[in-house]
Structure 1
Amino acid sequence: MTDMSVVDEASTWADWLEQREHRGPGDTVEAARSRASRKHKLPESLLWSLRYRKPKRIWADLYKKLELAVAAEVQSQEAHLAHEIAITRALVTSEAGRAVVEEAAAFLAAPVGPQERASAEPASPAAERAGELTPIISNAVLPSMSRASLAVAPMTLCTSIPFFQRRTK
């Protein structure tokens, strides 16, 4: 582990899962926590305690369930990204747009560790070089989770095609 303790890491994951389930204005944190706990079969009390009163320790089985829940969300977001890249490839006709799409595809195919991903990102995005499109690709969200930046960072390849739109149920 790095500077984070196991409980801090679990707290970060729990908060992130709640944020992923939050549906925007009008929704409550309690409702998002309840949906996240049902979706990933986690005790709601675990998510509550990690948010409001961090325990001194966490049971290994709960930690592992939380880790698997975050991994499932990350995998879901990677699948959404791959789908959006395929759609954007079909729609983009400009050279700058194709460069941005290929950059996003390379980001998805980059090594899985956060340190490797940070070094795999280009120093100057193709969109900024072309001056047309500006992708938003963030890399610093969950330091110990692989490809976590894909799951949290909103990404836009084209102004008309937003990545990771919040799905409604």
Structure 2
Amino acid sequence: MVTAEVLQAKSLCGDLLRWETRGPGDTDNAMRRIARRHGIEYGQLWSLRYRAPKRIWADVLTSISNAYEVERQRQLRKLAHDTKVTEEVAGARRNSVAKARALLRQAAGETAPVVGGGEP
């Protein structure tokens, strides 16, 4: 039986891999880049992706959680930059800009509903 910690690690690794993968056929290389960048053993990532273990060591789960948070912050910075560029090009009233701003506020701890009052 798989523990809740293994399921959590598997979910976090799935998100890390989704963010890192550059396209079809890049899964193995993406896992190697994640392992190298965050100091997680490649075998642990491979195992969580293809053959979930019954249990996971606490230090491995902590490493994966830390890597997830670092990459999450990187994704939020990329979203903020893209939102800024889109706002400059298309205007601040665009629906996509409003939704991105709401998502960034939510991630920062401010809970604000997504408003769709801008242009399409």
Q: Into which bin does the TM-score normalised by the smaller protein fall?
A: 0.7 to 0.9
Q: Deviations over 1:10-42 (max 9, x none)?
A: 0111122222222213x3422221111112110
The structural deviation recorded for 1:100 is 3.8
After the TM superposition, which parts of structure 1 deviate over 3 Å for at least 4 consecutive aligned residues? none
Q: What is the TM-score with the length of structure 2 in the denominator?
A: 0.81
How far the C-alpha of 1:121 sits from its partner, in A, is: 3.3
**Where do 1:133-152 residues align within 5 Å?**
none
Change (3 A) 1:84 1:28: closer
Change (3 A) 1:93 1:63: closer
- Gaps (5+ residues) in structure 2? none
Q: Does the C-alpha gap of structure 1 residues 14 and 94 become closer, same or farther in structure 2, counting only changes over 3 Å? A: closer
Whole-angstrom distance in 2 between the partners of 1:63 and 1:75:
18
Asked if 1 retains the 8 angstrom alpha-carbon contact of 2:92 and 2:98, the reply is no
Q: What is the SS of the residue equivalent to 2:102?
A: helix
What are the Cα deviations for residues 63-83 of structure 1, in whole angstroms up to 9, with x where unaligned?
010001011111001101111
TM-score (norm: length of structure 1):
0.60
Is the deviation greater in 86-95 or in 47-56?
86-95
TM-fit CA distance, 1:103: 3.4
Aligned residues: 118
Query: What SS class does the counterpart of residue 78 from structure 2 fall into?
Result: helix
Q: What residue is the counterpart of 1:9 in the other structure?
A: 8
Is the contact between residue 100 and residue 126 of structure 1 (CA under 8 Å) also seen in structure 2?
no
Identity over aligned pairs, percent = 34
| Alignment check: 8 A CA contact 1:14 1:47 kept | yes
Query: Can you give the 5+ residue segments of structure 1 that lack an aligned partner in the other structure?
Result: 133-169
Q: Which amino acid aligns with 2:16?
A: L
1:112: Cα distance to partner?
5.2
CA-based RMSD of the aligned residues comes to 2.5
